[in-house]
Structure 1
Amino acid sequence: MALNSGNGTVPDSKLGDEHVAVQKLQPDAKIYDRLMTLSGFFKQQYGDEPEFYVRVPGRVNIIGEHVDYCGYSVLPMAVEQSIILAVGTNKQRAQLELHHLDEGKFQSFDCDLSDLEIKLPKTGGPGWYSYFLCGIKGIQEELNDKWRPIGMRIALSGNVPLAAGLSSSSALVSAAVLATGHAQGMPLDRKQLASISASCEQYIGTHSGGMDQAIAYLAKQGCAQHIEFHPKLKGTPVTLPAGSCFVVANSLVQKRKAASSDYNERVVECRLATRWLAKSQKLPNWKDLIRFVDLQEACHLDNDAYVKLIDQQLKKSIYTREDICEGLGITEQELETDFLTPSTQHMQQFKLRQRALHVIQEAGRVVKFRQICEQLQRRSSKQDIEQLGQLMQESHHSLRELYECSHPDLERLVALSAKQGVSARVTGAGWGGCIVAMCDSVKAASDYVNVLKREYYAQLPAHLLERYQPNDFNEVVFATFPSNGAELFVQ
């Protein structure tokens, strides 16, 4: 007999933690009221009951920014905010029907799944439904000739802030992967689904590193996860310091990765820096190395030796196209065809040194953060907790100065945090979105949130005050606690 899991659901005891189990939804589940509202909307749209429900959380990355696509580990936790789906299937007609609970903001969409095509606009970001189509296409390609023409009726809702660095878009892609995989009768292996979810974001032009999708599937309630990508995907629970409380504060500057080339420019600069360093070490396969971690393995470098190599071989603050072509011994045509991506063809200058230094030093900070958390489980130490805060501050400084992905409004939030003695850093891709801050108690977090409400949020422009002040800004600044990863429910 299955035991209650503590979150108001009864899991399928035949499957281990490595699979997404089908859970019986209980009325005392935290998600129950949201799912029942969505169920009512589903019935209104389709005149029928949903067959199952999907929940995929957003995430906040505590430390380890812009390192996942270079092969290095990260330390995120899932947040309570999530994307939820109510799903019905139709084996007679391979049609997708999508209806968002917020109909005024998100237009409905339908298409023939036997002729799935993801069309991207020439300017601006993709339509919201394109993220869902990515997930379907990912499962189609994974199953190949085992794909069955099964239609899906979907109602969905989300309370993960959009374009805020909390992984709303990746949560939607991951939810689509889980729903489609279940409808197709796939074994719901969490690592496999995370891998599919990460790779299929390429269909909207995002070269994802895999962190968002990995935490979406591997997260466990009550702890962060140290997620490693090399040599294979692995998640290790990390207990955060006793009494500590993490706060997320949204700058309300929106930045969509898929609508801008900034994120992909950083990916390209890291790949170019890897190849430059590999060529400097006379590696015959230097063109094949695109992640810093692969070069580290090939040359048996530790963190300090890697920084020294960057100092020796990447001396310029800015590299031109001519510099890159001369250094790598390639033509400009080869640079455009083999080294740049479709969204980065316009690039004329490259900051290889700065990007490389950030990634290698940030990777070291992640490892130190985990080690200190583990030490704190054995003995309490104020000095160790202060060191965690110092690592977060160093991370933010690097993101601002070396990776250049901060924003004036994020800097205002970080400066207000520092005045309160709170360590904070940009989280997510940056250029807007959120900061994450570490407070030493729930009381300290409450006091800190009140300061931000008074000194940042109460000063917002009138149109934003009108939207967020009625709820006392609780949608945009809040304490958060580690949540479960992807879940699947039936009634």
Structure 2
Amino acid sequence: MADNMEERIPVFTSLAEIYGEGPLLDEASRRYENLKQQFVKLYGREPELYARAPGRVNLIGEHIDYEGYSVLPMAIRQDTVVAIGKREQGPPMLHIANVDSSEFQACKFPADPSQEVDRGNHVWANYFICGYKGVFEHLASKGEPLGASVGLNALVDGTVPIGAGLSSSAAIVCSSAIAIMTSLDKSSSKQEVAEFSCTCERHIGTQSGGMDQAISIMAAPGVAKLIDFSPIRASDVVLPTTGSFVVANSLTESKKAETASTNYNNRVVECRLAAMVLAVKLGMPLEEARTSVNTLSDVEGLCVKYASAHGSSSPVIAVEKFLHEAPYNTEEIEDILQEKLTTIMNKSPTTLAVLAAATHFKLHQRAKHVYTEAKRVHDFRGATVQSDSEELVLKRLGELMNDSHASCSLLYECRFVSLSFYNVEVSVLGLLLYIFFCKVFPNG
């Protein structure tokens, strides 16, 4: 079932509506009381509201959201909560503090949505500023009057491990955006907030897709979600009831924003270059390939057309034919595109940073991963609705996840420890073990 595109961000009046009854509610009550008391200590009054957004784990669909392809994540219990209130004295400023003040120092910014995020100074509160900018950019796009600048006090409490691949950044951007929008007496649909939260997080310097923000905003209890893009949509994926997902943190940190030009963004650029080279090789006019092709999904149709003429429906056939496995250097790609890469990419500072840092690009491997991973996502979703026994469904899901991990390792060169799900005796254990140390990506 697809989420209603107009479904609003929900408002709750009690913690039990979110956390249920029992130990989880008791834990949450203590946490929110501590958050309130620290807010009062810092700012002299209670917060006006609290906004919450969870982290996520991606079951399958790694590094393809920014290529326009569907992914299949689910939210986790760990979340980020932002307590917020308007400032009533002094010039309009944003005061942002963290419950863990020993690790995350308090920051102050002007209440100015036009301010740029300082990418050279990677402070944690930059993610709050991303959310702040996103709210005002969204309101401006709708033609809503912004009025005078309003100062805000904010206190952040996050339980999503930092840099662990669980999208702590999206959790703070989304919770901050919801808190800021609500404090300004504005509201939007889940789909709108997911869309602009994805866009505004790019102010931090990463060319990310929309998966993390979409699942943080659009998740629902008890189900995973198939996330589609352009526009963002979320459909329920019900997993076998006898399966469990065990999420473990390896304690390896990935500082995605700080290493964007050499890791995360590098892969995004390689995918774009692969798409442009494929476009030219498959007959697209040069100018169109240079200016209109941004993702591998943009040329999938050409790849499938080529494959169909050769007895297949897989876009990988075109990848194998037209992209060689040896890394491309800049000069070779420029010869194909008949233009300097710095000229083609001159409107993207983050891409120019990649081009300045890299000398070789693995186009074949990145394209092959994206196209095969996109298919695995839909195969995974299809397996969950089959009438087979849960034992067979779990086995099939495990096989697809193993294939995803192998592709991430060999073709996309994400660093993780592989785990064979095929060898897990699901008929005895009744578990689909999803060990998160397999899914930590120091390279982005």
TM-score (norm 1): 0.78
Alignment of 1:230-241 (within 5 A): 230=230, 232-241=231-240
**Number of aligned residues:** 409
Name the CA distance, whole Å, in 1 between partners of 2:443 and 2:322. Answer: 32
Residues 334 and 244 of structure 1: is their aligned pair in 2 closer, same or farther, counting only changes over 3 Å?
same
Which residue of structure 2 aligns with residue 371 of structure 1? 382
Match of 2:369 among 334, 358, 380: 358
1:192, distance to aligned residue in structure 2 (A): 0.7
Name the CA distance, whole Å, in 2 between partners of 1:131 and 1:245.
32
**SS in structure 2 at match of 1:106:** coil
- Kept in 1: contact 2:113–2:136 (CA 8 A): no
Partner of 2:101: 103
In the TM superposition, what is the alpha-carbon distance from 1:16 to its structure 2 partner?
9.5
Deviation at 1:281, TM superposition (A): 1.9
Cα pair distance change 1:186/1:91, threshold 3 Å: farther
Q: Secondary structure at the match of 1:337?
A: coil
Question: Contact between 1:100 and 1:108, CA under 8 Å: does it hold in 2?
Answer: yes
Deviation of residue 418 (structure 1)? 7.8
Q: What secondary structure is seen at the aligned counterpart in 2 of 1:343?
A: helix
CA contact (8 A) 1:90 1:152 kept: yes
What's 2:269 paired with? 268
Aligned to 1:341: 351
Matching of residues 171-320 of structure 1 within 5 Å: 171-230=171-230, 232-260=231-259, 261=261, 262-284=263-285, 285-287=288-290, 288-297=292-301, 304-320=313-329
Which of 76, 79, 92 is the matching residue for 2:76? 79
8 Å CA contact retained: 1:62, 1:427? no
Letter aligned with residue 268 of structure 1 = V
Q: Partners of 1:173 and 1:247 in 2: how far apart?
A: 26
CA distance in 2: counterparts of 1:432 and 1:338, whole angstroms: 25
How many percent identity over aligned positions?
A: 35
**Distance in 2 separating the partners of 1:140 and 1:133:** 11
Equivalent in the alignment of 1:49: 46
> In the TM superposition, what are the counterparts of 1:6-85 in structure 2 within 5 Å?
18-26=7-15, 29=19, 30=25, 31-85=28-82
Q: Distance in 2 between matches of 1:147 and 1:427?
A: 45
1:450 aligned residue: none
* Cα offsets for 1:154-211 (capped at 9, x unmatched): 1111110110000001111111111111122222211111111111112110111000
CA distance in 2, matches of 1:426, 1:276: 35
Amino acid at match of 2:384: C
Aligned residue for 2:430?
A: none
Q: What is the CA deviation profile of residues 54-97 of structure 1, one whole-angstrom value per residue up to 9, with x for unaligned ones? A: 11000000110000000000110000000001111236652211
Give, in whole Å, the separation in 1 of the partners of 2:443 and 2:274.
26
CA offsets 1:203-243 (integer angstroms, 9 cap, x no match): 1101110000000111000000000114x211001011112
Q: Partners in 1 of 2:110 and 2:394 — Cα distance?
A: 54
Deviations, residues 303-337 of structure 1 (Å, cap 9, x unaligned): 94301011111023210111101111113542563
Q: Is the 8 A contact 2:84 2:152 kept in 1?
A: yes
Segment drifting more, 127-136 vs 170-179: 170-179
For residues 233 and 26 of structure 1, do their structure 2 counterparts lie closer, same or farther at Cα, with a shift above 3 Å needed? closer
Aligned-partner SS, 2:315 = helix
Distance 1:319 1:299, change over 3 A: closer
Q: Secondary structure at the match of 1:79?
A: strand
Rate the CA distance shift 1:110–1:251 in 2: closer, same or farther, 3 A: same
TM-score (ref. length: structure 2): 0.85
State the distance in 1 between where 2:95 and 2:168 align.
Answer: 21
Alignment partner of 1:22: what SS? coil
Structure 2 gaps of 5+ residues are: 20-24, 426-432
Q: How far does residue 111 in structure 1 lie from its aligned partner after superposition?
A: 1.9
Bigger Cα displacement from structure 2, 49-58 vs 334-343:
334-343
**Aligned AA (1:286):** A
Structure 2 counterpart SS, 1:222: coil
2:396 to 387, 401, 414: 387
Q: Determine the structure 1 residue equivalent to 2:153.
A: 153
Aligned partner of residue 247 in structure 1, secondary structure: coil
- The letter of the residue matching 2:298 is D
Residues 257-291 of structure 1, C-alpha deviation per residue, up to 9 Å, x if partnerless? 10113000000000111111111222232221111
**Per-residue CA shift, 1:21-52, capped at 9, x if unaligned?**
22112468433332121111111111111111
CA contact (8 A) 2:239 2:384 kept: yes
Shift of 1:133: 0.5
The reply on whether 1:168 has 2:172 as its aligned counterpart is no
Shift, 1:423, TM fit = 6.2
2:128 — aligned with what?
132
Is the partner of 2:346 in helix, strand or coil?
helix
Query: How far apart are residue 114 of structure 1 and its match?
Result: 3.0
- The corresponding residue for 1:323 is 332
Contact 1:65 1:429 (8 Å CA) reproduced: no
| Equivalent position SS for 2:100 | coil
* Larger proportion of strand: 1
Give the Cα separation in 2 of the matches to 1:355 and 1:280. Answer: 17
The structural deviation recorded for 1:248 is: 1.2
Structure 1: segments with no counterpart, 5+ residues: 1-14, 434-491
Aligned-partner Cα distance in 1 for 2:93–2:191: 28
Is contact 1:25-1:32 (8 Å) kept? no
Which amino acid in the other structure matches residue 199 of structure 1? T
> Aligned-pair distance for 1:367?
0.3
Q: Find the partner of 2:405 among 389, 393, 396.
A: 396
Q: Are the equivalent residues in 2 in contact too, given 1:41–1:101 (CA < 8 A)? A: yes
Letter in 2 for 1:20: I
| Distance change >3 Å, CA 389–CA 153, structure 1 → 2 | same
371 and 336 in structure 1: CA distance in 2 versus 1, 3 angstrom threshold? closer
Whether contact under 8 Å (2:240, 2:390) holds in the other structure is: no
Looking at structure 1, the residues matched to 298 and 208 of structure 2 have their Cα atoms a distance apart, in angstroms, of 17
**Distance (Å, rounded) in 2 between the aligned partners of 1:78 and 1:107:** 28
CA distance in 1, matches of 2:93, 2:206: 26
Local SS of the residue matching 1:55 = strand
